[in-house]
Amino acid sequence: MQIYNEFELIARLTHGLTTRPDVALGVGDDCALLDIGSDSQLLATCDSQVEGVHFTLRTSTPEQIGRKALAVNLSDIAAMGGVPRFALISLVIPPRFSQEALEGIYRGLRQEAERHQVAIVGGNIAGAGQGKQLMLDITLLGTVRRGQAITRGGAQIGDVLCVTGSLGDSAAGLFTLLHPDGTGAENALTFVQARHRTPVPRVAEGRVLSAFGPAVVTAMLDISDGLSGDLQHLCERSGVGARVFAEHLPLTEEMQAIAARVGKDPLDWALHGGEDYELLFTLRPEKAREVIEAVQAQTGTRITRIGEIIPSGMCLIAPSGTEQPLQVRSWDHLH
């Protein structure tokens, strides 16, 4: 392990960063200097990842931690239907933190940035003093064509409620990482653990959706807290309720196999698991088929109708047809 001072470390981590034509000035001055088109609005989001709270070096490699830290921010840009463009990376580093792990994290950040043509344009590195935990805080900037951003607040009664991909895989992956049973690698385990450690933000899907505009795709957000909790956010913001059909929830075979093996309810993971980073969105019913076909055709990602928007309340329809209240059991990031 080598020790660097702050400026050497920044130089080392940011050496040869990939850039973009709209970055007039990246890392190295007081601010980044950026061009955004005149027909665009700016999107800005930030999210932090704390060692021991959001990740551990026991269950993820440094590269995976870096990738995920950026991916969760990409997911927020995706959830507005935007194009991610510029990232600022803030690191707080405990004393004697492994230089090699730090470089691995930055390698993961760069990989994920390059995958989405995002330029890392600034950041900050601070020591943690007596602190014991690595902290990554990322601000991601993107753009969206004026008038096409999809907020959480536009869902209307009668809208079709849809979700990208599948639900609950990440929760299953986290469970197996926290409770290893020594059975070694097999396909289902590898799949759900990858879904937890390196979620794929639905950026392309969000862009196809926002191209239809908010009159068709009326509300959208990404599922980070769990379907139940994030659906509640959407309902509260839109002033509506929702009905979810349990048997329509998209569950993978891999997740169900893991659930059976460890004696968990797969529906529970799908409803409340968190960290899916899928998009949850509502469509005007007369346009639903067209939009769903467009997203599937252009991205290859499955879109599933899981419910509908009702005047108020949140309820779950069991496979038997009985209706029960849908309780929120979200992950609280503070406790």
What backbone torsions phi and psi does residue 222 show, to the nearest 5 degrees?
A: -100, 150
* 79 binding a copy of itself? (CB under 8 A): yes
* 54 binding a copy of itself? (CB under 8 A): yes
| 22 among annotated binding-site residues | no
The binder of a copy of itself chosen from 18, 19, 35, 318 (CB under 8 A): 35
* 21 binding a copy of itself? (CB under 8 A): no
Nearer to a copy of itself, 187 or 327 (CB): 327
The binder of a copy of itself chosen from 11, 126, 215, 318 (CB under 8 A): 126
- For tokens 């059975």, the residue is 183
The binder of a copy of itself chosen from 52, 285, 313, 319 (CB under 8 A): 52
Burial of 220 by CB count in 10 Å (0-12 exposed, 13-18 middle, 19+ buried)?
buried
Site string for a copy of itself, 85-124 (x = CB under 8 A): -x-x-x-xx---------------------------xxxx
* 159 binding a copy of itself? (CB under 8 A): no
Measuring CA to CA, which residue among 125, 109, 134, 140 is closest to residue 49? 134
Q: Beta 83-93 vs 119-127: how paired, if at all?
A: parallel
Give the Cα separation of 105 and 179 in Å (integer). Answer: 24
Nearer to a copy of itself, 179 or 335 (CB): 335
Give per-residue burial for 278-296: e unless 16+ CB within 10 Å, then b: bbbbbbbeebbeebbebbe
The answer to whether the CB of 82 falls within 8 A of the CB of 143 is yes
What backbone torsions phi and psi does residue 111 show, to the nearest 5 degrees?
A: -60, -50
Which stretch, 12-20, 179-187, 265-273, 326-334, contacts a copy of itself (CB under 8 A)? 326-334
The answer to whether the CB of 75 falls within 8 A of the CB of 199 is yes
Which stretch, 196-204, 218-226, 255-263, 290-298, contacts a copy of itself (CB under 8 A)? 218-226
* 156 binding a copy of itself? (CB under 8 A): no
Which stretch, 219-227, 265-273, 291-299, 314-322, contacts a copy of itself (CB under 8 A)? 219-227
Q: Which residues are annotated as a binding site for substrate?
A: 54, 275, 331
